[in-house]
Amino acid sequence: MLEAFTHLADWLTYNVLGLASETKLADAVHFFIEDTSKIFALLAAMIFVIGFLRAGLDANRIRSFLSGKSRFVCYFLAAILGAVTPFCSCSSIPLFLGFTAARIPLGITMAFLITSPSVNEAAVAMFAGALGWGLTSLYVGLGLLSGIVGGMFFDAIRADRFLSVCEPPTAPCKCSCAGKGCAASVRLTFRERLSFAVAETREIFKRIWLWVLVGIALGAGLHGFVPDGFIASHLGGGQWWTVPLAVVIGIPTYANVTSVIPITGELINKGLPVGTAFAFMLSTAAASVPEFIMLKKVMTGKLLALFAAYLFAYFVLCGWTLNLFY
């Protein structure tokens, strides 16, 4: 099935545009067309399916459900919830605030908060299209584990002491799904869930299509114009310092994970060690300056520092570990 996208890229690049094969420009254009068509097709399918499933979720029931489970199960479920609620503005930060206001242990809310920006259906589709399902499974596993381990860590140090308020107000829903209670404060019919999935797919595409194209374009530039062996010869040795450097660059950088994945994939294809590439990608997706500014409303400076320190340590350790085995 995926070969159809290759054939489409062949036809558009060499027949329609008339570019000569084996040239840098042709390689870059072929890469851009193939990855764009393949990734957008996967995105549409996965976002629609996840949107349909999300339409049956009730945030209030989820909070009640989590509060009655064992702590480890809650970490896992909160991380899963974060992975399927990444884009809608009323389903990440406000849900995080709602968990806190409901007196759910902070570790559980942090598991959600850490996983939410890092793992989502769009990123999974893009990663699978760029690097295959093997590395995609690794990406999903590391993303979920970051939330679970983070939840355990923040509960272990009793980080709830560092919340700046006891009952933060929940933000009102202002996104396009507001009329349906942000995916299910009321029970929806099958037809309404289909409508919700279509509307969410359309809304998410409006938000990320440009980021996706930018990411693919940068990846295409790396693919077509960076000489083979250049990255491998300069950074391919897995030097220990490349991983923390990648995280230091990634954490303050504001970028959607969907724009980073094509770049990450091409860096790996050009010889950058998997661990270094993953450390950069995850750190870029999981934290940013705007996010820290928003969290300052409910977290003290000490808790924000602990949050940043945890992310740095986790991603560096992941990068070093992966570099040992890949």
**Residue of 141, 88, 137 lying closest to 115 (CA atoms):** 141
Q: State which amino acid sits at residue 97.
A: L
**Residue of 112, 46, 124 lying closest to 81 (CA atoms):** 112
CA dist 187 and 195 (Å) reads 14
CB 43 within 8 A of CB 205: yes
CA dist 223 and 32 (Å) reads 9
Q: State which amino acid sits at residue 298.
A: V
CA dist 222 and 200 (Å) reads 32
Tell whether the torsion through CA atoms of 174, 179, 184 and 186 is positive or negative: positive
326 residues of the chain, pLDDT tens digit each: 667 888 888 999 988 998 888 788 888 898 888 878 877 887 788 778 777 876 766 656 666 776 667 888 889 988 988 887 654 333 455 566 656 666 678 898 899 888 887 787 777 877 887 778 888 899 899 999 999 999 999 999 998 888 875 444 333 343 444 444 444 445 778 888 888 888 878 877 787 677 778 767 876 776 677 665 665 565 566 688 888 988 887 776 655 666 678 778 878 887 888 898 888 888 877 776 656 765 776 788 898 899 989 999 999 999 999 998 87
User: Would the pTM count as exceeding 0.85?
Assistant: no
CB 235 within 8 A of CB 273: yes
Domain range list for the chain = 22-325
